[in-house]
Each structure stands twice: as C-alpha cells, then as structure tokens.
Amino acid sequence: MFVNRMPRYEILSPDAMNVLDAGWRRLMTEVGVEFASERAVRLFRDAGQKADGSLVRLDPDFVLEQVAKAPREFDVRARNPERSLHIGGDHMSFGAVYGPPFVREGEVRREATMNDFRDFARLAQSSGTLDSAGGVVCEPNDAPLDSRHLDMTYALQTLTDRVYMGNVVSGENARDTLAMSAILFGGREAIEETPVTISLINCNSPLRWDDRMLDAQFEYSAAGQPVVLTPFLLMGAMSPVTIPSALVQQITEALAGIALSQLIRPGCPVIFGSFLSNIDMQSGSPCFGTPESATGLLCTGQIARHFGLPFRSGGALTSSQVPDAQAAYEGLMTMLPTFLAGTNWVMHAAGWLEGGLVASYEKFIIDLQILEMLQQEFTPLEIDEASLAFGAHEEVGQGGHFLGAAHTMERFRTCFYRPFLSSSQNYERWMKGGAADTAARAAEIARKRLAEYEPPPLDTAVEAELADYVARRRAELGD
Amino acid sequence: MFVNRMPRYEILSPDAMNVLDAGWRRLMTEVGVEFASERAVRLFRDAGQKADGSLVRLDPDFVLEQVAKAPREFDVRARNPERSLHIGGDHMSFGAVYGPPFVREGEVRREATMNDFRDFARLAQSSGTLDSAGGVVCEPNDAPLDSRHLDMTYALQTLTDRVYMGNVVSGENARDTLAMSAILFGGREAIEETPVTISLINCNSPLRWDDRMLDAQFEYSAAGQPVVLTPFLLMGAMSPVTIPSALVQQITEALAGIALSQLIRPGCPVIFGSFLSNIDMQSGSPCFGTPESATGLLCTGQIARHFGLPFRSGGALTSSQVPDAQAAYEGLMTMLPTFLAGTNWVMHAAGWLEGGLVASYEKFIIDLQILEMLQQEFTPLEIDEASLAFGAHEEVGQGGHFLGAAHTMERFRTCFYRPFLSSSQNYERWMKGGAADTAARAAEIARKRLAEYEPPPLDTAVEAELADYVARRRAELGD
C-alpha cells in the first residue's frame, strides 16, 4: 500500500489551533450534540455527562480522555493478505466512490443497477492502486431494498479480495455485514482480533447523530470494527459560512461520536471523518473541488494529527455533469490536498461525478490515472552522488542530447512514470488513431478491463456458505 | 497583484541541497558551459575565467559573487500603474502561453495569425487575474517574418496596459523592443530607471547558450531590463533521466547565464528560469504535467531561494491535443506545485495546449478559472474568535440548517469564491440549458469577452509615434 513519506503541508499556526481548540470546547459545552439514541445517551449519562433528553453537553476533557483510548494506528485485514491495510501514520488507503444512485456511461445517464455495482467492484479489483471498492460503489436500484445490502456485501467479498466497507443503513444490516465477514474470515473472534471492514457513520450535521447510523455504529464498535465518524458539512447549509466555524463544528461532531465509540468499546478503532465543502449561495447547489474545500482539507489533516487520530477526507470530488475538464480540475483540486494532508482513508477516490449523484465509468478510469500520478509525485526523491549522473554529462557535453547516452540506455524503461490514459502522441498520429479525447479513451480502457477481469480465487465452501447466508436472510427479510 | 502568503512546500533536505551544490560546482568546473558569443567569452576572460574557444569553465565562487550582485526582488512598470509588478519574494505574476505556432478553436486547429495574436492579447487584457499577455502569445504566421516582432510588440503595447515580454529572436529585435518601450514609457532613461519589459532567454541545453539569444540578452541586460535565464530541459533528451542530475544541470546553466548578465551590467535584474519536464522514453514525445515535472518544480523553488533569486517556472502545461480532462489534470498538476513553490514569474499560465504547439481559446479560459481558484486557495485563512460564528451555532442548534441564519445572511454574497466557468447546476437544469461541457462553455465565454473587449486608453500622440516607428522599421527591414 501507499506510504506518503513526503512532508505534510500544514497551514494552521499554533495560535490558530488554540482558537479552534477553545472553539470546539465551547461548542461542545454550551450548545452540545444531539444523540437520537437512548442507548447512546445512557452511556454518556453513566459516564457522568450531562444530558437533557437527547441533547448531550460533554465535558471537553472527558471527551479527550475517551479519544485518547482510540488507537493512533491500526490494521485492517483483507482476504488477500497482500491487500491488508494499515490505517494511520503516513499510510494512505484509497476507496472508490460511495453512494451514487445513478451511473453514467458515455452519453447515457441512468439509474444504477446491481450489474453496475458488480462492474465497478470489478474495476476496483483490476486496479493496482485502489485499496478498496468502498461500500456502496453505486446504489443498485434494481435489487430489493431490504436485502440489497446482502447482495452488495456478497459482491464486494467475492468479486474483490480487498478491504470492503460495511453497510450502515441499520443495526440489522450491520449485523448481517458482520456475520458475512465472520464467514469469510474464520469467525467472529477472528474479526474482533483484527478488523476486516471499515464503516462510514455520517453525522446529520449540524450537531446531531441519528438513530439508524448510531445503531450501526453500536454494532461495528462493539465488534471492534473501525468506524469513520464523519461530520457532513456543506458550508452555508450544514455549517456556518466561514471555514473556521466549520472546522470547530467538525471537531465537535467527530469527537463526540468518537467518545461514544470508546464508551461502547474502549480502544476500538475509529477514524476522524471529514466531508467538507460548500454550497453555491445563489442556487443552493453543493460545490466540490472548491478552494474552500481544499483549505478545509489541509486544516483537517493537521487537526486530526493534533488529536492523535487517523483521518478520512478528500477524494476526486466534482460538481461536473460529465467527465470533462471541470471534472478533472475539481477532482485534482481535492486530490492534491488529499496527498498534501497525508489523508489516511480516502473515499470517493475514483468514479465520483455530478456532486456524487453519479458513478461514472470514464471518471473512474480518469481518477485512477490521477491517483497513480500523485502516488508517483509523493514518493520522495533520492538525491545522492550517483543520482547526479555526472558521467552522462561528461559523455554528452554541450549542445548534444542524452537519448543514446549509456546512463539513459541503462534506465530508459523505468526512469519515468508512464501514464496509461494520458496521451502525448503528436497531432498527426493522434488524428490517425481516431482523435479520441480522454473520456473516450477512458471508456475504452474500462471496457477492456471488464472484459479481461478475472475474479480472485475464493474457497468454494466459503463462497457457498456466503451464498447460503444471503439466500436465508433474503427469505427472512421477505424479499 | 497576487501575493502568496501561504507556506512554501519544501522537499529538499539540507543534505540533498549540499549534494546538489557539490554537483553544480563540479559540472561548472569540469564540464563547463559553452557561450556561442565572442563578446560573452571576452567578458568572462576579462574577469579572469578560463575559456577554451567558446567553452567556459567558471570558478563556482566567482559565479556566486556575480549572482550576489543581482537584486533579490525588483519592480517592473506597466503603462497602467495598477498593473505594475513586483518580481520576487512572495509575489507571483502570471503570463499567457508563449510560442505556439498553431491555434485551436473548437474542432478547428490551424496556423496562428496576427488576428489570433491580437485576440489572445485582448483575452489577457480582459482577465482580472493575468498580469501579462506574455510575449509570443502565438506565432502570427501571416505576418512578415522580419518585421513580425514590431507587430507583436505594438499589439501588446496598445491592446493591453500590462507588462509585456520583449522579443528575443535577435539583438536587432531586442533593440526594436527597447526603442518602442522607450516611446511608450518616456525615453530610454526612464526604462533604465525602472524596467518595463521581461525577456525570455532560453538555453540550448545541455550547457550551451546560443549567439542570437545572447545578443538579445546583451541588449536587455545593458538596458537594465530583466531576463529570464531558462535552461530548457526535457529529461531524457536535453538532460539525463534523473531529476537530481537535471536540477544540477539547471543550476549550472542558469547561474552561468546570470553571471554573464552581471558582467554585462552589474546589478541588472535577472530571473532564475526553469522549464523542466521529461520525454516519453518510448516515443520521444515531450510530456507535461508529469509527476517528475511537479517534483522538479518544487525543488526549483527551493533552489532559487537558496541562491537568493526570483524564479520562473510552472504554467498550465499539458500534452493533451484538446481541452479535455487530461488538459485540465496535467495543467493543474503543474499549476498547483507552481503555487506551492511560490513561483515569482509564471509563463504559460493560460492557453497552452498540445505540448505548447497550440494556443487554445477554450483552454485559455479554463486556465483562468483554475488560476482564480488557486489564488483563492493560496490566500491565508483568518482564524479568530469572530470567525468561529458561535452565534450562528446558538441560533441554529442541532439538525437544522444555516441558510437563513443571520450570520449567513450578512455574508452570503461574498463568503465563498464563485467560479465563472465551473457548473454546479443540477442535471435537469443543465440539460435544459443545452448540456454544454466545460470546453463549450469556455468557448462561449471567450467569444463574449472578445465581443465586449475595449482597448485600454492610450495617449494618441504616443500611439501615433509607435505606429510611425513600426512603419519606418518595417520599410527598413524590406517587408
């Protein structure tokens, strides 16, 4: 997996961090956080915290004591051991887009299906750089609603050999994910020893954690599976319109959720989540890849490290309706800060289009190209005497070229990163080859990868047990 | 103008810098630099340096003594005082693409004309963010070759009120640029007092400065006009295939050129130039927006600061043939490091396409959009008690929204950067509006800006004197 050994780009001064620290302490104490779950409120009460109905006003020092119980770094097992992940420190993991109800393929935009879900899982599996297909790589609208989570989990478990995300629609769905994970990884005890799935728990921002998400969190935290506690902040709608106020709110919401996880099971792994952008104040539309979101992302990394927590942020986000120039620049406006901040768990790293409403086949491939380039760029340069290639300069001298130099001949195959999607063909050759733009070439690559896809090997008994579980539970759920 | 008060992103350790320092000293001493100009060699000889024909082996300490004479920062006057520039420190200036023989407009790619040149100058003038139309914004192939520089300079002087670049094809062309600048700015003495133009002197890398470029450098440096001494390095062709070796070569070439400028006129302003990317080792094609070029750019900024010199690098470079996703991600892969490195003089910031062979109207607008976003992103965040908007949280509480909060209502017009090109329209509205992608919207914006363009006011007597000069010199040149 990718380890980012380049420097972090930090933009918050100690003074600024102090202001933010005072801010979240005040917000946590004076305004408080709502937990729409009796179980959650009871845990806080039992720990000596003040609750007024579902509204909890937490003592900031108590919160920090809980946060300190969470591991700074932890492992997550994949069924292919080479694909297991380490979350935290300089390690970065990348998952596909999460949640879109629609897909786009060329000029066609339509409701996503289970076949799309499987195809995106296959594309994730065939990628060398993506660590996870994520969870809801698209919302399979043709699958029965109550048992859809079984189909999705089964697809992620069988079509990929990588870490997958757990279903969070309800506590029941979370229990199904855990049961299926226990089948795949050799029992509940095994998955409690080293976690095997990561789950996204979103805050209903501002300052409110909802019951269904909390029910899922209870299941996952109790089982020692990491949860990503994520304030969902589109500034102007779910938070005030200044970045500092959004950061303070983000800290308050995330730390409150993390404190809960540590009351559920002390020491269980958590990830400080961030989903931070802004709306267009004239239309109310969500905007992505904005300067404000990039700034927020850089700050978020520094804040998460301040609290000693791994963090989630970033992705190749865009508002663009098609995989065009805007889709690319907005995506990179988020992905480059994602690397500068050293984000540990990156969701939406491939395929996100149209504000997250659409999973795009072309954008998926474009994003993988960008991801590969960034991994290359964020690999430290080795500078030593040998790297200066003095002999090549002696050989070539003045005004010549290095194409045939001995130093070049020894290294020409591997000296530079070679893109699989970008074209540097000259105009005549490019025209002769059909003058395909980047989106068209990406579509062709997606088709080729799907045609060549081979499922990763899986013990047939395990696969049958998983299929049985899905069938039995589907029947119970009445689908 | 834009001042980048954000931190620099520095990736070279002191050890690495020492290795590079030892490297250029050795290259300068043992391999040397060729100056294809008797005048240049004589200046070095007179200063006690060793020359073998046109090959000069300079004492590194002598070079550093010369470099130390160059100003760390300096001003450049524009005829509109509000558009004058400060070069160096945290200041960043942005110029349009330089040099393309072709233009692209939608599906049409054709030879550039003088009309294109004027239109790109107009687009630069109508932009709020671009500090300069540059110099050869495209190569006007329909204008007579010998007098073309007069038409270009006249267009830059009359259609824009910003800093323009000087012609460098020959010493004679440089003299014409200086004479026309003297007309515009009130005489030779005035332009020597504060420079009014910046000129690009490219090295014929590796390690060779050619006569025509040097002739131009002699004119400009003698007149106290800044020159950008730029090693032209496509790794694999003009330099070895390792980034450290390219950096050492870049230092050697640039410092040798800068030393010459200080012998021509001690204290004259210079800019440490960098044009650093790599070729595709299979096809030999130049590649842009590569991870290697981004890494090289970050190092270059640090190196220029190490020598106390303002520097030029970056731009919105791409190999893409059309203004598509690749054009955008490669452009931003260069432009974001351009900001991280705090580049002082940025050429090719708008319009570059197809490896610099094409000036694209659509890409010009796309790049201006990216430039605006980056200027916003690289503006420091103010974090104080007031910015935390605590009152808004008290007003909204849990689970509501901030759209109507008093804090929001006071700030909604200016709180977020609002893009002029990017679309966050929802799908239905976007479809109804014609479903234009980013390139199509950019084309429309370019057309609109050209239709609405108004030339900046210019004293009619000065304009007539410039026109007379052009007519007289054209006749002398026999065109």
pLDDT at B146 over 90: yes
Using a CB-CB distance cutoff of 8 angstroms, which residues of chain B are in contact with residue A381?
11, 16, 243-244, 295, 299
Q: Which of B34, B241, B416 sits opposite A398 (nearest CB)?
A: B34
Q: What are the pLDDT digits (tens) for A245-266?
A: 999 999 999 999 999 999 999 9
pLDDT at A479: 80
Backbone torsion region of residue A426, taken as left when φ is above 0, otherwise alpha when ψ lies between -120 and 50, otherwise beta: beta
Q: How far is B62 from chain A (nearest CA, A)?
A: 21
Write phi, then psi, for B45 (nearest 5 degrees).
-60, -45
pLDDT band at A319 (very low <50, low <70, confident <90, very high): very high
Q: Are strands A197-202 and A33-35 parallel, antiparallel or unpaired?
A: unpaired
- Bridge partners, residue B110, by sequence: B103
CA distances to A328, B327, B445 from B320, in Å: 13, 5, 21
Give the nearest chain B residue to A358 (CA atoms). Answer: B427
Q: Which of A323, A392, A397 sits opposite B325 (nearest CB)?
A: A323
pLDDT at A253: 98
Task: Report d(CA A40, CA A211) in Å as an integer.
Answer: 9
pLDDT band at B378 (very low <50, low <70, confident <90, very high): very high
Find, among B291, B272, B311, B303, the residue nearest to A381 by Cα: B291
Q: Which of B236, B393, B423 sits opposite A319 (nearest CB)?
A: B423
Longest dimension (CA), chain A: 80
Write phi, then psi, for A229 (nearest 5 degrees).
-85, 105
Q: What are the pLDDT digits (tens) for A330-376?
A: 999 999 999 999 999 999 999 999 999 999 999 999 999 999 999 99
pLDDT at B382: 95
| Residue B84 CB neighbour total at 10 angstroms | 17
Task: Please judge whether B389 and A240 are an interchain contact, meaning their C-beta atoms are less than 8 angstroms apart.
Answer: yes
Q: Which of B33, B412, B438 sits opposite A326 (nearest CB)?
A: B438
Using a CB-CB distance cutoff of 8 angstroms, which residues of chain B are in contact with residue A422?
287, 289, 319-320, 326, 330
A38: enclosing H helix or E strand: helix A38-46
Residue to mutate among A381, A430, A444, with most B CBs inside 10 A, is: A381
Q: How far is B229 from chain A (nearest CA, A)?
A: 16
Write phi, then psi, for A405 (nearest 5 degrees).
-65, 150
Task: Report d(CA B56, CA A347) in Å as an integer.
Answer: 55
Indicate the burial class of B477 (C-beta count within 10 angstroms; 0-12, 13-18, 19 or more). Answer: middle
Using a CB-CB distance cutoff of 8 angstroms, which residues of chain B are in contact with residue A242?
387-389, 411, 415
Give the nearest chain A residue to B289 (CA atoms). Answer: A373
pLDDT at B479: 80
Q: What's the angle, vertex CA A69, arms to CA A67 and CA A74, rounded to 5?
A: 100
pLDDT band at A159 (very low <50, low <70, confident <90, very high): very high
Q: What 3-state DSSP class applies to B201?
A: strand
* Cβ B200 vs Cβ B345: under 8 Å: no
In terms of DSSP H, where are the helices of A132-242? 148-159, 171-185, 188-193, 211-222
pLDDT at A155: 98
Eight-class DSSP state of B88: B
pLDDT at B195 over 90: yes
CA distances to A158, A302, A432, B379 from B6, in Å: 47, 15, 46, 7
Q: What 3-state DSSP class applies to A219?
A: helix
User: In the numeric block, which tokens belong to residue A228?
Assistant: 């990503």
Q: Are strands A197-202 and A227-230 parallel, antiparallel or unpaired?
A: parallel
pLDDT at A446: 98
* Cβ B218 vs Cβ B262: under 8 Å: no
Q: What percent of chain B has pLDDT over 90?
A: 100
Task: Report d(CA B204, CA B209) in Å as an integer.
Answer: 6
Task: Please judge whether A326 and B423 are an interchain contact, meaning their C-beta atoms are less than 8 angstroms apart.
Answer: yes
Task: Please judge whether A398 and B319 are an interchain contact, meaning their C-beta atoms are less than 8 angstroms apart.
Answer: no
Determine the residue type at B122. R
Q: How far is B478 from chain A (nearest CA, A)?
A: 33
pLDDT at B399: 94
User: In the numeric block, which tokens belong to residue A159?
Assistant: 């079509």
Packed helices B325-340 and A325-340: angle between N→C axes, nearest 10 degrees = 40
Rounded CA Rg of chain B: 23
Task: Please judge whether B242 and A416 are an interchain contact, meaning their C-beta atoms are less than 8 angstroms apart.
Answer: no
Q: How far is A343 from chain B (nearest CA, A)?
A: 17
Residue A206, preceding peptide bond in cis (omega within 30° of 0): yes
pLDDT at B34 over 90: yes
Task: Please judge whether A20 and B383 are an interchain contact, meaning their C-beta atoms are less than 8 angstroms apart.
Answer: yes
As a whole number, mean pLDDT of residues B72-79 equals 98
Task: Please judge whether A109 and B427 are an interchain contact, meaning their C-beta atoms are less than 8 angstroms apart.
Answer: yes
Residue to mutate among B383, B384, B412, B413, with most A CBs inside 10 A, is: B383
Residue to mutate among A29, A204, A318, A329, with most B CBs inside 10 A, is: A329
Residue to mutate among B326, B395, B437, with most A CBs inside 10 A, is: B326
**Start-to-end Cα distance in chain A:** 39
Q: Which of B30, B242, B385 sits opposite A19 (nearest CB)?
A: B385
CA distances to A278, A320, B353, B439 from B420, in Å: 16, 14, 21, 13
As a whole number, mean pLDDT of residues B370-383 equals 97
Find, among B143, B116, B162, the residue nearest to B364 by Cα: B116
pLDDT at A472: 98
Task: Report d(CA B278, CA B287) in Å as an integer.
Answer: 6
* Cβ B375 vs Cβ A292: under 8 Å: no
pLDDT at A166 over 90: yes
pLDDT at B445: 98
Distance of CA A159 to the CA centre of its chain: 19
pLDDT band at B279 (very low <50, low <70, confident <90, very high): very high
Q: What 3-state DSSP class applies to A16?
A: helix
Q: What are the pLDDT digits (tens) for B301-358?
A: 999 999 999 999 999 999 999 999 999 999 999 999 999 999 999 999 999 999 999 9
User: In the numeric block, which tokens belong to residue B147?
Assistant: 């007098």
As a whole number, mean pLDDT of residues A23-45 equals 98
How many CA within 13 A on the CB side of residue B69?
18
Q: What 3-state DSSP class applies to A134?
A: strand
At which residue do the structure tokens 């950061």 appear? A247
Task: Report d(CA B139, CA A79) in Å as an integer.
Answer: 59
Task: Report d(CA B9, CA A185) in Å as an integer.
Answer: 43
Q: Give the count of Cβ contacts less than 8 A between chain A and B.
A: 389
Give the nearest chain A residue to B286 (CA atoms). Answer: A424
Eight-class DSSP state of A236: T
Q: Which of B243, B380, B411 sits opposite A241 (nearest CB)?
A: B411
Using a CB-CB distance cutoff of 8 angstroms, which residues of chain B are in contact with residue A428?
none
Task: Please judge whether B11 and A380 are an interchain contact, meaning their C-beta atoms are less than 8 angstroms apart.
Answer: yes
Task: Please judge whether B324 and A411 are an interchain contact, meaning their C-beta atoms are less than 8 angstroms apart.
Answer: no
| Residue A443 CB neighbour total at 10 angstroms | 18
User: pTM, whole model, 2 decimals?
Assistant: 0.98
Does domain A2-9+67-377 fall under CATH 3.40.605.10? My reply is no
ipTM surpasses cut 0.95: yes
Residues with Cβ < 8 Å from A187, sequence gap 6 or more?
none
Q: Which of B12, B16, B291 sits opposite A377 (nearest CB)?
A: B291
Burial B308-342 (b: 16+ CB within 10 A, else e): ebbbbbbbbbbbbbbbbbbbbbbbbbbbbbbbbbb
Eight-class DSSP state of A166: P
Q: Which of A242, A413, A427 sits opposite B354 (nearest CB)?
A: A427
Using a CB-CB distance cutoff of 8 angstroms, which residues of chain A are in contact with residue B419?
287, 290
Task: Report d(CA B411, CA A241) in Å as an integer.
Answer: 8
Q: What 3-state DSSP class applies to A88?
A: strand
User: In the numeric block, which tokens belong to residue B433?
Assistant: 């509006």
In terms of DSSP H, where are the helices of A265-311? 291-306
CA distances to A71, A89, A368, B154 from A75, in Å: 10, 11, 24, 65
